[in-house]
């Protein structure tokens, strides 16, 4: 039976759902004429209005994450996948290598792309376990002369999340696209952090890079200035026209997080949502999560139906109940419920109710 509730919940890994308040603000801003009679999204990016938006956005991010002054914050066009190439091109000297920890689908993609641009080695891999656990940091083989060690803090496709981060003799670089702002973070432990904004920070088209200033170096030959971390830092991310709509949305999302208690409050809600769903899975005879329990992702809950032919029926009936985009990554299959900051507890409660009802009928 189809759900009679008017509210629909988007469990997609990205672009993710936005809070209703942010959606309303975004719709209003598209037609709102600010001071001077021109909407903010139509103002010159070099003008005072848009500069003020960027400065406020950076200040909000710094305050929420406690970013030290010796780190630059860059607003870059494109997604995190572009950074897979830009990291070695920006952070490594000619001939210098880097180390990569392979924890799943996205860490593997970052490693393969980096291999095209620099000497890169795999410091550790979870492939032998099917990416169901994170390799122990004590087993990571990171050369002392590596320019950096790269990791993916949360694997959206595999449902695996690093719970803490080691201190290494080389700069630690992290792709935090899917879990930035979902838990407190010791930024000073990292050389660089990057994250696309379409999961916890708004819409697609913008990527944040938080980088220790001492790692900034002049562009190497062949690296376009628009993709140089040093140039972007010097130009306050206004070397060329920034993605104005994505920046505005990130600003409103950061405000939304700050108004609701900041990252600590987001972390508590994240734990509550994921615990509710994992408890349902673990108590079930139909659903199964293969990821090691203490390393399960709190933001991308990946599981499968033991009776796999039922999956298509599960997805179809979930859609009818207002539970959208629960299909797992196209390369990996299974079920995936993405529980980013904008997902209300009510959405997970409805999913759990549906899952229990579905099992009672098909289990």
SS (H, E, C) 254-287: HHHHHHCCHHHHHHHHHHHHHHHHHHHHHCCCCE
Cβ 334 vs Cβ 321: under 8 Å? no
What's the CA gap between 190 and 177, in Å, rounded?
Answer: 15
Strand duo 172-175 + 149-152: pairing: parallel
Report the helix count and the strand count for the chain, using DSSP H and E.
9, 14
Buried b / exposed e across 86-102, counting CB within 10 Å, b at 16+? bbbbbbbeeeebbbbbb
- Element containing residue 335 per DSSP (H, E): strand 335-338
Please name the residues in contact with 70: beta carbons below 8 A apart, sequence gap of 6 or more. 212, 213, 214
Active-site entry in 69, 70, 164, 175: 175
Active-site residue 199, yes or no? yes
What DSSP state is assigned to residue 187? G
Give the integer Cα–Cα distance in Å for 305 and 106. Answer: 23
| C-alpha count within 13 angstroms, C-beta hemisphere, residue 183 | 18
**Rounded to 10 degrees, what is the CA torsion of 216, 221, 226, 231?**
30
Closest-CA residue to 143 (of 165, 174, 112, 171): 171
Contact 209, 76 (CB under 8 A): yes
Q: Which of 109, 199, 256, 282 is catalytic?
A: 199
- DSSP annotation of 327 reads B
Phi, psi of 109 (to 5 degrees): -65, -40
Any alpha helices (H) in the chain, and if so which ranges? 20-31, 48-65, 80-91, 105-115, 229-234, 244-259, 262-282, 311-320, 345-362
Render 1-69 in DSSP notation, one character per residue: -----S--EE--SSSPP--HHHHHHHHHHHH---TTSS-GGGS-TTSHHHHHHHHHHHHHHHHHHT--T
| Residue of 69, 70, 106, 353 with catalytic role | 106
Task: Give catalytic status of residue 175 as yes or no.
Answer: yes
Which sequence positions are flagged as catalytic? 106, 175, 199
């Amino acid at each position: 039976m189809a759900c009679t509730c008017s509210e629909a919940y988007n469990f997609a890994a990205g672009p993710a759902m936005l809070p209703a308040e942010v959606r309303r603000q975004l719709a209003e801003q598209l037609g709102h004429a600010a001071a001077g009679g021109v909407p903010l999204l139509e103002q010159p990016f070099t003008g005072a209005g848009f500069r003020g938006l960027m400065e406020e956005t950076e200040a909000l991010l710094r305050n929420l994450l406690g970013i030290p002054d010796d780190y630059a914050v860059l607003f870059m066009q494109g997604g995190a996948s572009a950074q897979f190439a830009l990291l070695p091109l920006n952070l490594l000297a000619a001939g210098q290598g880097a180390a990569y920890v392979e924890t799943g689908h996205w860490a593997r993609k970052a490693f393969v792309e980096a291999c095209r641009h620099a000497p890169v080695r795999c410091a550790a891999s979870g492939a032998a376990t099917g990416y169901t656990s994170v390799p122990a940091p004590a087993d990571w083989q990171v050369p002392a002369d590596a320019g950096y060690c790269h990791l993916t803090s949360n694997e959206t496709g595999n449902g695996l999340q690093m719970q803490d981060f080691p201190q290494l003799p080389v700069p630690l670089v992290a792709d935090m696209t899917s879990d930035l702002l979902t838990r407190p973070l010791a930024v000073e432990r990292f050389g660089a952090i990057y994250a696309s904004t379409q999961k916890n920070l708004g819409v697609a088209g913008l990527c944040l890079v938080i980088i220790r200033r001492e790692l900034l170096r002049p562009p190497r030959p062949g690296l376009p200035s628009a993709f140089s971390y040093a140039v972007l830092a010097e130009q306050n991310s206004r070397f060329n026209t920034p993605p104005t709509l994505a920046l505005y949305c990130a600003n409103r999302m950061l405000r939304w997080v700050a108004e609701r208690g900041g990252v600590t409050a987001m972390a508590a809600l994240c734990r509550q949502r994921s615990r509710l769903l994992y408890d349902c899975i673990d108590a079930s005879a139909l659903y199964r999560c293969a990821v090691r329990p203490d390393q399960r992702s709190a933001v991308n809950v990946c599981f499968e139906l033991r009776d796999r032919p039922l999956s298509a029926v599960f997805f179809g009936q979930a859609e009818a109940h207002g539970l959208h985009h629960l299909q797992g990554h196209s390369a990996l299959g299974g079920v995936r419920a993405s529980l980013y900051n904008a997902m209300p507890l009510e959405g997970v409660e409805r999913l759990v109710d549906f899952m229990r009802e579905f099992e009672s009928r098909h289990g």
